[in-house]
C-alpha cells in the first residue's frame, strides 16, 4: 500500500496489528481525515486508531502491519478516549 490518504481510506475499519514493548495488540483504523495541501507538497492527512481498554500505548513509533497494507512504522499520539472510553491514537502525515 502507498502511504497516502487513499490507501488508508481503503483500510478504514480494519484492524492493524501493532508490536510494542509488551507484545502485540490490534488497533482498528477508525477514520482518515484529509487536510488541504496549500502548496506543492502532497495533501496531508490524519489517522485515528481505536484500541481496547486493556492496552494503553505511549506516544511513539510502532511497527504496524495489515494483511493488504503490509508493514510500516507509524508515530502515534494518544488522544482523548471516545464516548466508549476506549483509547484512541492519532497519526499525522504531512
Kindly report, residue by residue over 7-26, the tens digit of the pLDDT.
Answer: 898 889 999 999 998 799 99
- The pLDDT value given to residue 58: 94
CA distance 47 to 22: 23
Domain that holds residue 81: 5-93
| pLDDT band (50, 70, 90) for residue 38 | low
Q: Report whether pLDDT(39) > 70.
A: no
Hey, which residues does 42 pair with through a beta bridge? none
Cell numbers at residue 76, please? 502515534
pTM: 0.88
Q: Count how many Cα atoms sit within 13 Å of the Cα of residue 27 in the half-sphere of its side chain.
A: 27
Kindly report, residue by residue over 53-86, the tens digit of the pLDDT.
Answer: 778 899 999 999 988 878 999 999 999 988 888 9
Q: From the centroid of its chain, how far is CA 7?
A: 12
The kind and range of the H/E element at 8 are helix 5-10
Number of domains in the chain: 1
| pLDDT band (50, 70, 90) for residue 40 | low
**CB neighbour list of residue 6: distance below 8 Å, 6 or more residues apart:** none
Amino acid at each position: 500500500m502507498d502511504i497516502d490518504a487513499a490507501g488508508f481510506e481503503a483500510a478504514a475499519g480494519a484492524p492493524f496489528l501493532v508490536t510494542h514493548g509488551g507484545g502485540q495488540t490490534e488497533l482498528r483504523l477508525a477514520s482518515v481525515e484529509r487536510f488541504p495541501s496549500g502548496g506543492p507538497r502532497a495533501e496531508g492527512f490524519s489517522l485515528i486508531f481505536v484500541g481496547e481498554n486493556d492496552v494503553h500505548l505511549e506516544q511513539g513509533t510502532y511497527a504496524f502491519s495489515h494483511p493488504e497494507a503490509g508493514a510500516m512504522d507509524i508515530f502515534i499520539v494518544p488522544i482523548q478516549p471516545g464516548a466508549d472510553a476506549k483509547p484512541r491514537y492519532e497519526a499525522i502525515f504531512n
